Amino acid sequence: MTSRQLRKYCPLSEEGRGLLKTAMDELGLSARAHDRILRVARTIADLEGSAEIRPGHVIEGISYRSLDRKLWAR
Amino acid sequence: MPSAGLPKTVLVGLPELAVRESVHRIERALANLGYDRHPGRTVINLAPADLRKDAGGFDLPIALGLLVATGQLLPEQLREFATVGELALDGSVRPIKGALSMAMAAAERGIPKLLVPAANAREAAVVESVAVFAVGTLAEAVGVLSGQLPAEPVAPQIDELFARLNTYEVDFGDVRGQEFAKRALVVAAAGGHNVLMIGSPGTGKTMLARRLPTILPPLTPPESLETTRIYSAMGRLKPDEPLLATRPFRSPHHTISDAGMVGGGSTPAPGEISLAHHGVLFLDELPEFNRRSLEVLRQPLEEGHVTISRALASTTFPASFILVAAMNPCPCGYLGDSRHACKCAPMTIERYMGRISGPLLDRIDLHIEVPSVPSRNSRQRPTARAVPPCASRSAGRGRLQRHTIWAGEPPSQ
């Protein structure tokens, strides 16, 4: 998915955006990781048959990126 | 063309060794079958002159060309046919690599009939717009071309092959416990995301990975052709399985070279990532892999294909796959395990983790811990019902995303 498609198909609510921004700062995630979390959140929303990406989907997406931050913390 | 001079056969047009040797095979095969040879000098030209030819498959077409040049076959009898095959000294036709690609090329050029070695016939017959004829010997080929030997094209049987071969030996429902890891794999399957599993030895990482292809969407016929073509070019198709009907699962050993991983060689050949096209590439013991063979994965992970440039040629191979990687949490494997003590020094662990580069980790969307399962838990009944048979199909609006991943080409905006 290109970044334009990402903006079109993966819109976030105010709350979701806030969550993702906090996670980026806390975990020190890159812009690529940001886009990839968004894609994972989109998949999770699809699996649940939800048209919009809800905060819970974003949280699950972020949770899949927390382990590497813990294990590869320098 | 036969021409005046000393009796000699010359092959021109950049033939590599396998092709240069074909002259001797062809001469013996023609002689042993009792065909007349031209007494004078013969020049065989392979066009285009600047492209290196390296395959045994030219034997049969060259032999047929010689028969036309000596008047033992008529040129118009060859008009509708493309032919390919290697010759043995006794005149029998031996199998070749890449029969599927040849059939696809014939279809693209509008050549209606293709003559192939019998062993490759079912593989080539997958291309329905070309009538494929199977031959076992040079004499048979002459018979089919001249019409003296009645021949029927090989039936494609694509639907029958798909129905017969479209099953996996393992099942996602076999896995007991590990609900968190299974959830992550369902997400990976639905969206085509890459996964890294971290856990102690024996916690089921490999078992989980092997079952990922079973919950991916069924392989579509165009996807199957793309992947089968790679196996055909490598000569890796099994005789009873001329078509890949299930998604490939490749698990190369960690001693693999970077050329083995992405492809290579002076005339580039595809590597493991292309053999995993439209399927799963599983890298067990990720930190044990040579750093170079991991870093070369970065371009294909982003783009779904790989371009290999060598002195002689530059080639692009498809390589759209889900990467599933597995590793232990430390060199001894038991860091964080409740049942074993970890014996590793902090420095050793840091060095171990440091073998995986940040850019590679960044391209893996799902990082999950696969903890050791208490025996009581694993004795529970398998949770087959917990996961829909094809989880990714249950998704509604995500069609675009799956489309982008599985079809490779993003829809234009």
Nearest chain A Cα to B356, which residue? A72
Residue B388 has pLDDT above 50, yes or no: no
Between B233 and B405, the higher pLDDT residue? B233
Mark which of B106, B123, B156 sits at the end of a domain.
B156
User: From the CA of A56, how many Å to the nearest CA of chain B?
Assistant: 14
Whether B22 and B131 share a structural domain? yes
Q: Do A43 and B395 touch (CB under 8 A)?
A: yes
Residues B279 and B314 in one domain: yes
Assess A36–B contact: CB distance below 8 Å, yes or no.
Answer: yes
Which CATH number belongs to the domain containing residue B50 in this structure? 3.30.230.10
pLDDT value at B262 more than 70: yes
Domain boundary among B101, B123, B156: B156
Instruction: Provide the domain limits for residue B106.
Output: 2-156
Q: Tens of pLDDT along A5-27?
A: 888 888 888 899 999 999 888 88
Same domain, B103 and B15: yes
Task: Taking residues B254-274, report their average pLDDT.
Answer: 91
* Residue B345 CB burial class (10 angstroms; 0-12, 13-18, ≥19): exposed
| C-alpha span between B214 and B168 (Å, rounded) | 7
Q: Say whether both B119 and B188 belong to one domain.
A: no
Residue partners of A25: CB distance under 8 A and separation at least 6: none
Contact B370, B199 (CB under 8 A): yes
- Is B53 within 8 Å of B77 (Cβ atoms)? no
Residue with tokens 């049969």: B60
Extract the tokens encoding A36. Answer: 């990839």
Which of A27, A39, A40, A43 to mutate: most B Cβ within 10 Å? A43
Interval B85-144: pLDDT, tens = 999 999 999 999 999 999 999 999 999 999 999 999 999 998 989 999 999 999 999 999
Give the whole-angstrom CA distance, residue A51 versus residue B412.
22
Q: Provide ipTM, 2 decimals.
A: 0.91
User: Which of B128, B156, B184 lies at the terminal end of a domain, its last residue?
Assistant: B156
Do A46 and B401 lie within an 8 Å CB cutoff?
yes
Same domain, B270 and B343: yes
pLDDT tens digits, one per residue of B36-88: 887 788 899 998 888 888 888 999 999 999 999 999 999 999 999 999 999 99
CB pairs under 8 A between A and B: 89
Taking the model in full, what pTM does it have?
0.83
Q: What is the pLDDT of residue B411?
A: 38
Domain count, chain B: 2
pLDDT in tens, B362-374: 899 999 999 887 6
Q: How far is CA B157 from the centre of its chain?
A: 20
pLDDT in tens, B8-17: 888 888 888 8
CB contact under 8 A, B187 and A44: yes
B127, B203: one domain: no
The verdict on B146 and B172 lying in the same domain is no
| Residue B293 near residue B264 (C-beta atoms within 8 A) | no
Please give the angle made by the CA atoms of B259, B262 and B195, to the nearest 5 degrees. 130
d(Cα B2, Cα B40) in Å, to the nearest integer?
Answer: 6
Q: Which two tokens stand for residue A28?
A: 């020190």
Checking if the pLDDT of B389 tops 60, the result is: no
Q: Is the pLDDT of residue B404 over 60?
A: no
Residues B121 and B174 in one domain: no
Q: Which CATH architecture has domain A3-71?
A: Orthogonal Bundle (1.10)
How far is B232 from B277, CA to CA, in rounded Å?
Answer: 13
Based on the fold, state whether residues B292 and B199 are members of the same structural domain: yes
How far is the C-alpha of A28 from the C-alpha of A17, rounded, in Å?
A: 16
**CB contact A40 to B (< 8 Å):** yes
Domain boundaries, chain A: 3-71
**Tens digit of each residue's pLDDT (9 = 90 or more) over B145-156:** 999 999 899 988
Q: How far lies B401's CA from each of A1, B135, B193, B404, B405, in Å?
A: 7, 46, 11, 5, 6
Query: Residue B365 is nearest to which of A4, A39, A72, comparing CB atoms?
Result: A39
Structure tokens at B131: 């009538």
Q: B297-313: per-residue pLDDT in tens?
A: 999 999 999 999 887 77
Coil, helix or strand at residue B355: coil
| Residues contacting B387, CB < 8 A, separation 6+ | B172, B173, B182, B186, B215
